[in-house]
Structure 1
Amino acid sequence: MTVIKILPHAELCPQGRTIEAAPGTSVCEALLENGIEIEHACDMSCACTTCHVVVRQGYDSLGELDESEEDLLDRAWGLEPQSRLSCQAIVSGTDLTIEIPKYTINHARENH
C-alpha cells in the first residue's frame, strides 16, 4: 500500500490526514474512499479542474501528464509546477504528500 499524506485543508481535512491506497488507484478515488470529499464535478472523467491537487512529494512517481490533463490544468486555480488532476494521478508504490488548494473554479457546488 502507498501512503498518501494530505496537508491540512480548512474544510476538507482541517488537521491533515494520512491514508493508504493500493497502487493503480487514482488520488481522487483514494481521497473519496477515505472520507475526504474532494470536489470532482465531472465524475473523474478529466473534463474539469475541481479535483486539482498539488503534489508536494512523490510527483515523479505519478507518470506523465497527457495533453487533455495539461490543457485543463491551465485553467486550475492556484496552478503550480507540481499540479495534477487527482482523478488522473494514479498511485504507484511511492508515498505521496499532497495539498488540496483552497479554491476551485466550480461555480455550482452540488451536495454542499
Structure 2
Amino acid sequence: MPQVIFLPHAELCPDGAVLEAPSGTTVLDVALKNGIGIEHACEKSCACTTCHIIVREGMDSLDESDELEDDMLDKAWGLEPDSRLGCQAVIKDEDLVVEIPRYTVNQVSEGH
C-alpha cells in the first residue's frame, strides 16, 4: 500500500506524518481520516483552493490535473509547478511526499 508522507506544518501536523494510503483515495481524504485538518471549504468539489498542496515527490504517479483544477490553482496562494488540490490528487501505486502551504486564500476557516 502506498504512503503519503506529510512534511511538518506548524499548525496541522507539527511533526509531519507518514500515512498508509489506499490507492484510489485522494490526498485530502487520507489527511482528514488521520486528523490532519486541511481546509476544504467547497466540500471537495474543486470549487476553491483551500486544500492546495505541493507534491514534493511522486508527482509523476498522479493523473494530470484537468482544466477546472488548473483554473482553481491559478488562484491559490504560493502556487508552484507541483501544486495540486488535495481533493483532486488521487493516489495511485507510488508514495507521495506532500507539503501543506502555510496559508490559504480563505478569509475565514470553516472549522471542518
| Shared fold per TM-score greater than 0.5 | yes
Aligned equivalents of 1:45, 1:111: Cα separation in 2: 17
Alignment of 1:6-17 (within 5 A): 6-17=6-17
Aligned equivalents of 2:53, 2:111: Cα separation in 1: 21
C-alpha displacement of 1:56: 0.2
1:99 is aligned to 99
Equivalent residue pairs, number: 112
2:4 is aligned to 4
Establish whether residue 74 from structure 1 lines up as the match of residue 80 from structure 2.
no
Establish whether residue 22 from structure 1 lines up as the match of residue 22 from structure 2.
yes
Runs of 4+ deviating beyond 4 Å = none
Q: 1:63 is paired with a residue of what secondary structure?
A: coil
C-alpha displacement of 1:111: 2.2
TM-score (norm 1): 0.97
Unpaired runs of at least 5, structure 2? none
Fraction of identical pairs, as percent: 60
1:33 is aligned to 33
C-alpha displacement of 1:108: 1.7
1:50 is aligned to 50
TM-score (norm 2): 0.97
Aligned equivalents of 1:20, 1:46: Cα separation in 2: 24
Unpaired runs of at least 5, structure 1? none
Aligned equivalents of 1:32, 1:97: Cα separation in 2: 16
Give the counterpart letter for 1:35 in structure 2: G
Q: 1:77 is paired with a residue of what secondary structure?
A: coil
